Amino acid sequence: MFTKKEKATVQGKAVLRCSICTGEQTAGFLDEQTGAFHESMLIRNQKDLKAFCRKYGVKEEEIEKIY
């Protein structure tokens, strides 16, 4: 009934896409070969960012911001 969740795996580089106009931030993964951004979740606060890091096993300092 209750199982341990495994970390999700996604290929690519973890990035935080930020809007200059609205300040909206979206976390996801950038495919370095094609340049395609795969959106994962909306980041509204620090708690959301920590949840993203925990879910995908990424450290905050590894996440690059792109505009």
Give the containing element (helix H, strand E) for 25: strand 25-30
Residue 19 has a pLDDT of 94
Assess if residue 7 is contained within a domain: no
Chain segment 2-25, per-residue pLDDT in tens: 565 555 556 799 999 999 999 999
* Dihedral sign from CA coordinates of 9, 13, 16, 20: negative
Chain segment 31-55, per-residue pLDDT in tens: 999 999 999 999 999 999 999 999 9
CB-CB contact of 13 with 64 (8 Å): yes
CA distances from 39 to 3, 36, 64 (A): 26, 10, 14
Residue 6 has a pLDDT of 54
Residue 1 has a pLDDT of 60
Assess if residue 3 is contained within a domain: no
Residue 11 has a pLDDT of 77
What is d(CA 50, CA 59) in angstroms, rounded to the nearest whole number? 9
Assess if residue 23 is contained within a domain: yes
- What is the domain range of residue 59? 13-66
Assess if residue 2 is contained within a domain: no
